[in-house]
Every structure is written in C-alpha cells, then in structure tokens.
Amino acid sequence: MSWFRRLLQKDKETPLRGARPVRREKTYSADTGYVYQYVYEGYREAQQDSLPGHEHVFSVTSDRSTRFPLGIFLAHQTVDAYRDKHGRELNATEQYAMVKMRLFEVFDERNDLGNSSQSATISLENIEEHAETLDL
C-alpha cells in the first residue's frame, strides 16, 4: 500500500519547508503604483529549464481579498557561479536576501501580477547587482 501512496505523491508538488511558525504579512509599495502585501510560505527543491535549485514561494495580494502564489527560483548553478567568480559562498541568509530583492524587482516591473501563478528567476547578474547593493 505504501507504493501506491508514493505513486500518488509524485504528481503533487514538493511540500514547502522553511516557513516561520508565525506568519508575518509585510507590505511593499511598488513603482507600478500597487501596494502589495506578501507572506513567505517557504521553499522547495525545484527544477527550471532542467536546472536544479530552490523555489521560494510567497503568497501575495494587492487588493487584500485575492491571494496568488509568486515563486522566485534560485538555481544552484547560479549560486555556484557567484562562488567561483568571487571566491566566497553565499550563505542561506544572503541567498534569501537575494530572493527578497528579486521579489521587489518583480513588484516594481510587472503590472500584470495576480492574473495567474507567477514566477521569476534570479540570474547571476541579479545576484551581483544585489550583492553590490548589500555591500557583500
């Protein structure tokens, strides 16, 4: 019977990890004029374009009635490329800071959030830009 449960679970998304026990809703006023409220739901192992990494998922609303998931994907290859180029690892806290900064960029750049599930990817250029902003 356990093989049957495993078969059914393969179709479901990987469960989220890393969410805080007490969820804190935060607010961000975007350059687009929208004011977003968001909650960090956690992260999961994921693949995008055949690259393994972590997808960090936020629950977002701009009207306080309709929530939608917004995923920010950080590929392990991108983190490794940063390490190889700069000679230092990004720890988990620094990686989360990069994720949050990319989240804010998405809020500032896109007017069409909320139409469906949204996602964004963090590139090496994003990480280098954010690392400079954070003085890393």
* pLDDT tens readout for residues 65-122: 888 899 999 999 999 999 999 999 999 999 999 999 999 999 999 877 765 567 889 9
Per-domain residue ranges of the chain: 2-133
CA-based nearest residue to 128, from 63, 83, 96: 83
Handedness of CA 32, 49, 42, 100 (dihedral sign): negative
0.85 surpassed by pTM: no
Name the E strands within the chain. Answer: 26-29, 35-48, 51-61, 68-75, 118-121
**CB count in 10 Å sphere of residue 30:** 18
